[in-house]
Chain A
C-alpha cells in the first residue's frame, strides 16, 4: 500500500472495529464477570461492569463439588470423536467429489444438500426411536454417530472446496513423476489440504461441543451427560446457581480456544501459492 493514510479514515476504521468487537465479545465478558462475582453480590451489583469483590470460589466449587469434570470428559470424548470421524469421512468424500466423475454423483450431492434443509426438530423423534430401538440411549457413541451423520454433508462440501482449490496439475505431475494415485494424494495433496482439514476439524469440534438438543434427548443418566446438558443441572427447581454456571461456562471455553490455537496455523491461507502460475 503506497497511498497516504488519512487520519480521519484510520480513526474511523478502528472505531468501527472496536464497536464490532465490543458487541461480539460483550456476552463473553459478562460470562467471565459473573463467574468471578461472589454469590451475594450477583443481584446487588447486577449491572456493574466489574464487581467490587473478586472470587474464584465458583470455579473451585464447580470443579470439586459438582460432576463438572465428568461432563467435561464426556464432551471432550464426543467432540473429538465426532471431529475425527467426520473429518475422515468428509475428506474422502470431498476428494471423490472434487476429482472423480461417477454415476450418481449429482444425485448424491443433491441428497446431501436436502439433508441440510430439514429443521432438526422434525427428525428428533425418529432419531430417538432409532437410537432407543438399538438400545443405544445414554451412550456417548450414539451421540458421535448422530453428530457425525449431521455434520458430514456440510463438512464434505467444505473439504470439496478445499480440494477444488488444489490444481489437478499437481496430482498429474506427481503421477508423471512416478507416484500412484494414492502416493500423489498422500505426498502432494495431503500436505496442501492441512488448512482445510484444520478448518473442518475446528468447525465440527465446536458444533459437537455446544450441541444440546440431541444430547438432551438421548442422554438422561448423569454419568453420560455432556457438558451442555450438565450445565442445565445448575438450574434447580427453585433457583439458578448463576455463579457456578458461568464458571463452568468459562471453563468450557478453554478446550475450544485451545483447539483453535492449535489448528490456527493450518488455517493460514496461501499454502498453495507458487504451485501454478496465478
Chain B
C-alpha cells in the first residue's frame, strides 16, 4: 500500500507541453479518478506514474521515495490496460501468474495465488483457456486478476471499461468498487466517463488541456465546481450556462427579465449564470423568474427532460423528477433555485457561491 505524491510534475513532447505543474497527494488506500476530455493528459499522467513514460520535470514520490527514474518493474505498481493486453500465447492461469513467474516465486505459491484470484473473479472454470477463447468481460477479469495477484503497492486503471458494452460496464464497475473495498489498496483510475468517476472515486481530479482544474470529492465537484469547465464536465445533463448582467441581489437577462438571487455577491457586470437542469423549478407562467417555451419534451419515466427556449436568453434545459405533463409548445414558468445557482466571472472562474453568502 502506498502514498503517492506528485510535485510540479511536467510532461513535454518536444516543444509541446502536455502536462503543466501537476501537484497531487494521493493518500494510502485512496481511490483517485483522473477524468477529462480526450487529449487532456490523463492517460499520460497515469503512464508516467507507471513508469512507461518518462517524466520531464518535477518529482514523483511513492512513500516519500523519489521514483522518477525507477524502472516500471521496480516500482511495484500493477496496471490494467484499456486493451487488456493479455498475452495471447499463454492460458488464463499463466497470464495471471506471469508476474510471479518472472519474479521466480515458488510454483506452489503461484498456483495457489492464481487459484484464489480466479475464485475471486469467477474465472475458475476458465483457467486453461487462451485469451482468444474468452469474451470481452472475461478478458477484462483476467486483466484484473493479473493485477491483483501481485499484491502491488498501487493499482492503475487506464479506461478499463471503455471496451465493454453498457450492461457489462455497470457490472464491472461494481466489481472494481468491491475490489477496492476488499483490498483497501491505492487505486488510480483514468476515465472520460463521468459516471464512472462519480461512482468510484474518493476524490476526482479533473484535467483539461494539461492543467488540473479541480480536485475534490464527487459531491464537492457537483456542488461547488471551481470553474465553468468543471461545472459543465461534471453532472449529466450538462449545466445550463447563460450570459447575464450582474447587479445588486439580482441578475438581468438581455431582454430585461430579472432573476432574484438575494445572496448574490457583488460581481462585475458581464458574468454568466450556471444552473443545473435539475435545479430549475417549473411553476405557473405568472410566478417564475423566466418564461420558457417547451421545444422538446423527453419522458424518461423516472424523469422528464424539457428543452425550453427562453426569449432573450436562449435554450435552457430543465430536468424534473417524475412525470411532468408538459408538451412541446407549452409556456412554462421557470424558477431558478437561488441556493443552487452558480456565477462565473469573465475568466470562467466561479465567483463565491450564492449559498455561502447566506451564513
Q: Which residues of A contact B (CB under 8 A)?
A: 167, 169-170, 172-180, 183, 187-188, 191-192, 271-277
B131 A173 Cβ-Cβ under 8 A: no
Q: Are A176 and B83 CB-contacts (below 8 A) given A274-B88, A277-B139?
A: no
B99 A275 Cβ-Cβ under 8 A: no
Residues of B within 8 A of A180 (CB): 71, 73
B103 A178 Cβ-Cβ under 8 A: yes
Choose the segment among B1-9, B74-82, B222-230 that binds chain A (4+ C-beta atoms closer than 8 Å). B74-82
Q: Is B177 an interface residue (CB 8 A)?
A: no
Q: A176-B79, A187-B102, A272-B88 are in contact. List 5 more A-B contacts (CB 8 A).
A: A169-B85, A173-B85, A178-B99, A276-B84, A277-B83
With A and B bound together, what is the CA distance between A175 and B79 in angstroms?
A: 10
> Which 5 A-B residue pairs are closest in the complex by CB-CB distance?
A274-B132, A276-B83, A274-B131, A169-B85, A173-B85
Residue in contact with B83 in the complex, picked from A169, A177, A273, CB distance below 8 Å:
A169
Give, as a whole number of angstroms, the nearest-CB distance from A37 to chain B: 50
Q: Is B136 an interface residue (CB 8 A)?
A: yes
With A and B bound together, what is the CA distance between A174 and B132 in angstroms?
A: 18
A275 B88 Cβ-Cβ under 8 A: yes
Residues of B within 8 A of A172 (CB): 50, 52, 72, 79, 81, 85
Q: Are A274 and B130 CB-contacts (below 8 A) given A175-B52, A180-B73?
A: yes
Residues of A within 8 A of B131 (CB): 274-275
With A and B bound together, what is the CA distance between A277 and B73 in angstroms?
A: 24
- Within 94-145 of B, Cβ neighbours of A (below 8 Å) are at 98-99, 102-103, 130-134, 136, 139
With A and B bound together, what is the CA distance between A87 and B150 in angstroms?
A: 37
A274 B73 Cβ-Cβ under 8 A: no
- With both beta carbons as reference points, the residue of chain A lying nearest to B163 in the complex is identified as A277
Residue in contact with B73 in the complex, picked from A170, A175, A271, A275, CB distance below 8 Å:
A175
B102 A179 Cβ-Cβ under 8 A: yes
B86 A179 Cβ-Cβ under 8 A: no
With A and B bound together, what is the CA distance between A271 and B90 in angstroms?
A: 11
Q: Is B89 an interface residue (CB 8 A)?
A: yes
Q: Could you say which of A172, A173, A174, A192 has the most chain B C-beta atoms within 10 Å of its C-beta? A: A173
B85 A271 Cβ-Cβ under 8 A: no
B134 A177 Cβ-Cβ under 8 A: no
Give, as a whole number of angstroms, the nearest-CB distance from A56 to chain B: 45
With A and B bound together, what is the CA distance between A276 and B98 in angstroms?
A: 17
B89 A192 Cβ-Cβ under 8 A: yes
With A and B bound together, what is the CA distance between A191 and B88 in angstroms?
A: 10
Residues of B within 8 A of A275 (CB): 83-88, 131
Give, as a whole number of angstroms, the nearest-CB distance from A119 to chain B: 40
With A and B bound together, what is the CA distance between A226 and B89 in angstroms?
A: 40
Give, as a whole number of angstroms, the nearest-CB distance from A277 to chain B: 4
Residues of A within 8 A of B136 (CB): 277
B86 A176 Cβ-Cβ under 8 A: no
Q: Is B319 an interface residue (CB 8 A)?
A: no
Residue in contact with A170 in the complex, picked from B87, B133, B134, B139, CB distance below 8 Å:
B87
Residues of A within 8 A of B102 (CB): 177-179, 183, 187
A173 B81 Cβ-Cβ under 8 A: yes
With A and B bound together, what is the CA distance between A34 and B302 in angstroms?
A: 85
Give, as a whole number of angstroms, the nearest-CB distance from A180 to chain B: 7
Q: Could you say which of A170, A172, A176, A187 has the most chain B C-beta atoms within 10 Å of its C-beta? A: A176
11 contacts between A and B (CB under 8 A): A167-B83, A172-B79, A173-B85, A176-B72, A177-B99, A178-B99, A271-B89, A272-B88, A274-B86, A275-B83, A276-B85
Q: Could you say which of B50, B73, B99 has the most chain A C-beta atoms within 10 Å of its C-beta? A: B73
Residues of A within 8 A of B88 (CB): 192, 271-275
Chain B positions 147 through 172: 1 when the CB is less than 8 Å from some CB of chain A, otherwise 0: 00010000000000001000000000
Give, as a whole number of angstroms, the nearest-CB distance from A238 to chain B: 60
Give, as a whole number of angstroms, the nearest-CB distance from B144 to chain A: 13
With A and B bound together, what is the CA distance between A188 and B52 in angstroms?
A: 17
- With both beta carbons as reference points, the residue of chain A lying nearest to B74 in the complex is identified as A178
With A and B bound together, what is the CA distance between A53 and B45 in angstroms?
A: 79
Residue in contact with A274 in the complex, picked from B52, B81, B134, CB distance below 8 Å:
B134
A277 B87 Cβ-Cβ under 8 A: no
A274 B133 Cβ-Cβ under 8 A: yes
Give, as a whole number of angstroms, the nearest-CB distance from A262 to chain B: 20
Residues of B within 8 A of A274 (CB): 86, 88, 130-134, 139
With A and B bound together, what is the CA distance between A121 and B78 in angstroms?
A: 57
Residues of A within 8 A of B150 (CB): 177
With A and B bound together, what is the CA distance between A68 and B130 in angstroms?
A: 48
Q: Is B146 an interface residue (CB 8 A)?
A: yes
- With both beta carbons as reference points, the residue of chain A lying nearest to B87 in the complex is identified as A188
Residues of A within 8 A of B81 (CB): 169, 172-173, 276
- With both beta carbons as reference points, the residue of chain A lying nearest to B147 in the complex is identified as A176
Residues of B within 8 A of A179 (CB): 73, 102
- Within 44-90 of B, Cβ neighbours of A (below 8 Å) are at 50-52, 71-73, 77-79, 81, 83-89
